[in-house]
Structure 1
Amino acid sequence: MHHMAILVTDNFPVFELGCALEVFSLPRQEISPWYKCDVISFDGKLLTSSTGLLMQVNEVTELLHYDILLIPGWDTDSRKIKLALAEQIVAFHSLNKRIITFCSGAFLPAQLGLLNHCKATTHWRYAELFKQRFPMVEYVDNVLYTQQDNVYCAAGSAAGLDLSLEIVRQDYGHEVANIVARRLVISPHRAGGQAQFVETPMPQKHHKFAKTLQWSIKKLNTISKVDDLARHANMSRRSFDRHFKASVGMPPKEWLNQQRIRLAKELLEHDRLSMDELASRVGFDNTVTLRFNFHKFVGISPSEYQQQFYQG
């Protein structure tokens, strides 16, 4: 049995805490022994969440009898850590015990210097602040989670579930992790290196390009270049490029490639196609261009994506 401490403080995040409790604390009679979880704090027994929810937790003064420490969130603006808490976490880390962070939780071990010269990540909205405050950390952009030695960091929100399943997989194997994933009704595995999101901005001025965008999405496999979009919009290529970027927020070629990757993801989830067939169906000239853009926008290869999300 793995004895886990889930560390919270005032203004704790409800969602990330809920993810931790759902995976590690919920009793699973079909899997024994399971994790034993205590929600703990060094700040008192009654705490308030970020949404105003009051919760009673276990007030503690030491951590060393636990096997795993999970930090679902931390105050990104605070530079103060209670001495007793800091000493206990440093001692915990020195014993090579596992420390897991979700979202802003990475700020706590980083502030203690435990992530120096290590790979780490956090939610994309905190990325620049994290890199500014902790320049000695090897920050990894746009991934779901990282692991270096016995320190694990999830990017944030639902990525905490992905990392939790990876922990279960390491402790109990793929079959058990798949059982837990089915209970959660989520994918059994999303690789840590997968992008946090694929952003596909739509134009703020819908009236200018709406018809052309709708047309191009339906014709991805026949559109060979951006000139086709410019002709459909009855604009010169130079004028089209300028107005498109101002309206959509990116060059038309990048937007077009994102739409091809969006369609490729849908096809990979439902069809078994060769890479040549897939490239042709979404409008790429060859499989090299397909693989390059897929990895650029998704963070993993098409075959890895299909292994994770194919619904058959």
Structure 2
Amino acid sequence: MIHCRHPDSRRPPADSGGNATTRTLSDMRTVALAVTAGVPHFELAAACDVFGVDRCDLADPWYDFSVCGPATVPVGGRFLLEPDHGLDRLVQAHTVIVPACPDPDAAPPADLVDAVRAAHEAGARVASLCTGAFVLAAAGLLDGRRATTHWLHADALATRYPRVRVDPDVLYVDDDRVLTSAGKAAAMDLCLHLVRLDHGSAVANQVARRLVVPPHRAGGQAQFVTTPLPEPRDHPLADLLSWVMQRLDQPLTVEQLARRANMSSRSLARHFTATTGTTPLRWLLTQRVHRAQELLETTDDTVDAIAAATGMGTATTLRRHFHRSVGVPPDAYRRTFRNTRTAHAG
């Protein structure tokens, strides 16, 4: 494994009440992947590729990544993996990732459940990929929360753990320090979401390009579900979406989009829902907000200039939509990532 270490990658101290102190996004440096015998290789590989490859040229420091589990772990029925540490090391990580279970119908290993629970109690952000949600549910981390998993196993998760509000129709759910994803490709989407939280949208998009996967497109809430842009030319809206992305600075209406796609407005809405999971105007607003995020991270442009560049018109409009979608005002968002880069540079 490749590690980009930061000189101060220790866990934060607990406060006087025994709870982990609040961390900023830039604190999320150490990532631990929890593995057990028989773990499927797809989700495991997704996490390794996103967090375990040296990308210090994009963000320095990158993640200090390790695999935690038994001495030798069979993976996917074909490979043997030698973890870096035992499961007890999870409690020292800032972020713990639990990949898919080899058999969702079986109770997850007790030592894995205990280690994941202990890590969360110590302040870790915990994310499950695919059926890894069963481990989080067994640890009690999903009680009272909205969560998702592979649609084939959503009913089983809801039946076995009735206190979990299972949503089988989404790609992933971010509920504070507990995140769950649907199956397979959605695992990559959640991993890129974590990169976006920690390093910003520009870095996350660069990682996506290197992995040749669709750019990560966040939705419209502070704790949100996202639908990524589909691969080019594999759906009826491919040319239209590409056309729109080149014209985000322009005023665009549903009628204009429909004419461009040679569809009626009703047909356009139907195709948008099937392809992106949302309406044309909501999708367009999401793209404008994401362009604003990138400009806030990578330029010194004023909020007024960014409002014009993203088709928002005025700084007031940009601030309203940005705050509603991202959860903080544009100026605060810019300061967060400027401070993160300054801390990393130091």
Is the shorter-chain TM-score for this pair beyond 0.5, marking a shared fold? Answer: yes
Q: Structure 1 residue 265: deviation in Å?
A: 4.8
Cα distance in 2, alignment partners of residues 21 and 36 from structure 1: 11
Structural mapping, 1:32-47, within 5 Å: 32-41=60-69, 44-47=70-73
* 8 A Cα contact 2:218 2:227, kept in partner: no
CA contact (8 A) 2:114 2:139 kept: no
Residue in structure 2 matched with residue 209 of structure 1 by the alignment:
none
SS of 1:175's equivalent in the other structure is helix
Q: Distance in 1 between matches of 2:210 and 2:171?
A: 21
- 2:95 aligned to which of 54, 60, 68: 68
**What is the Cα-based RMSD across aligned positions, in Å?**
3.0
Aligned partner of 2:240: which letter? L
- Tell me the residue number matched to 1:16: 43
Q: CA deviation at 1:91?
A: 2.2
- Matches of 2:108 and 2:48, distance apart in 1: 27
Counterpart residue type for residue 32 of structure 1: D
C-alpha separation in 1, matches of 2:95 and 2:55? 19
Equivalent residue, structure 2, for 1:78: 106
Alignment of 1:175 with 2:175, yes or no, is no
Q: Kindly indicate whether the alpha-carbon contact (under 8 Å) linking 1:155 and 1:196 is maintained by their aligned counterparts in 2.
A: no
1:87 counterpart = 2:114: yes
Return 289-298 or 151-160, whichever deviates more: 289-298
1:199-218 to structure 2, matched below 5 A, reads none
Matched, 1:268 2:247: no
Is the Cα contact below 8 Å between 2:147 and 2:166 reproduced in 1? yes
Output the TM-score relative to the length of structure 1: 0.69
1:282 Cα deviation from its structure 2 partner? 5.8
Deviations 1:89-148 (A, max 9, x none): 222222332001111111101122210110111111212222221221111122111011
Q: For residue 107 of structure 1, what is the amino acid of its counterpart? A: F
- CA deviation profile, 1:224-276 (whole Å, cap 9, x unmatched): xxxxxxxxxxxxxxxxxxxxxxxxxxxxxxxxxxxxxx524542234667411
Percent identity among equivalent residues?
34
Provide the secondary structure at the position in 2 that maps to 1:188.
Answer: coil
Aligned residue number for residue 184 of structure 1:
211
Match of residue 278, structure 1, among 257, 270, 279: 257
Q: Is the 8 A contact 1:123 1:155 kept in 2?
A: yes
Shift of the alpha carbon at 1:21?
0.7
CA distance in 2 between counterparts of 1:176 and 1:267 reads: 25
How many positions carry a matched residue from both structures? 244
Q: Deviations over 1:179-238 (max 9, x none)?
A: 21221122321336356999xxxxxxxxxxxxxxxxxxxxxxxxxxxxxxxxxxxxxxxx
Kindly indicate whether residue 321 of structure 2 is the aligned counterpart of residue 294 of structure 1: no
- CA positional deviation for 1:67: 1.2
Amino acid at match of 2:61: P
Paired AA for residue 39 in structure 1: V
Could you tell me whether the CA contact under 8 Å between 1:194 and 1:298 is conserved in 2?
A: no
SS in 1 for 2:154: helix
Unaligned runs of 5+ in 2: 1-8, 10-28, 220-224, 292-346
Displacement, 1:169?
A: 1.1
- TM-score, length-normalised on structure 2? 0.62
Q: Which runs of 4+ in 1 moved over 6 A?
A: none
C-alpha displacement of 1:12: 0.9
Distance in 2 (CA, whole Å) between partners of 1:86 and 1:138 is 20
Q: How many Å apart are 1:10 and its aligned residue?
A: 0.9
Deviation readout 1:130-181 (Å, 9 max, x if unpaired): 2221221111122111011101111121111111111111111122212212
State the shift of 1:304 in Å: 5.2
Distance 1:128 1:197, change over 3 A: farther
Give the residue type in structure 1 aligned to 2:75. Answer: S
With over 3 angstroms needed to count, the CA separation of the structure-2 counterparts of 1:173 and 1:96, relative to structure 1, is same
Q: Which structure has the larger Rg over C-alpha atoms?
A: 1
Select 2:163's aligned residue among 121, 136, 151: 136
Classify 1:86/1:127 alpha carbon distance in 2 versus 1 (closer, same or farther; 3 Å): closer
2:186 and 2:112 map into 1 onto residues whose CA distance is 26
Contact 1:122 / 1:156 at 8 angstroms: preserved in 2?
A: yes
